[in-house]
Amino acid sequence: MTQEEIRKKDIETANNFVKDPENRKMAVALANQIQKELGTEWFQAKKLNKVFKGGTEDQIKAKLVVLGMFKLAAYKEEKGQQFYKIDIDQKTQRGLILQEIEFHKAQIEILQEKLVALN
């Protein structure tokens, strides 16, 4: 295979990965988890050790690269240091909030049923 063929194959593989709805769902969950811990400010990869409970800096950077593929993370370099930022669009944020509301509604229903059972 030529370098060009390998490059095209790599691009095709990456595009297929990004198109898969399950992969996006996992990426959004990961971005949401990071955003809950670190907010929307710029941070360095080493700051994510508390979110991932260990892991090497290279493993953490790889996760951030994947989030970048889904346009859920931004990257910049300043004075030789790399910084990242989680950037979840409003439509996705609304979906996450609605999911959380539904989860809590279900929890409330369970608690209400327990209350009725106690009476």
Instruction: Report the DSSP beta bridge partners of residue 74.
Output: 85
Residue-number span of the structural domain to which 79 is assigned: 3-88
- Tens-binned pLDDT, residue by residue, of the chain (119 aa): 787 777 777 778 777 888 888 988 899 998 998 998 888 899 988 888 777 776 788 888 888 888 988 888 988 999 899 899 998 888 887 887 888 898 889 999 999 999 999 88
Q: Quick one: angle between helices 3-19 and 57-69, nearest 10?
A: 80
Structural domain tally of the chain?
Answer: 2
- Residue 113: burial class (beta carbons within 10 Å; 0-12, 13-18, 19+): exposed
The pLDDT assigned to 88 comes to: 86
* The pLDDT value given to residue 108: 93
- Please give the DSSP secondary-structure letter assigned to residue 20: -
pTM (global) more than 0.95: no
Q: Do 38 and 56 lie in a common domain?
A: yes
Q: Are residues 107 and 84 in the same domain?
A: no
70 and 47 in one domain? Answer: yes
Judgement on whether residues 83 and 102 belong to the same structural domain of the protein: no
Beta-sheet strands, E only, within 1-119: 73-78, 81-86
Q: 81 with 101, same domain? A: no
How confident is the model at residue 61, as a pLDDT?
A: 86
Cα–Cα dist 86/40, whole Å: 6
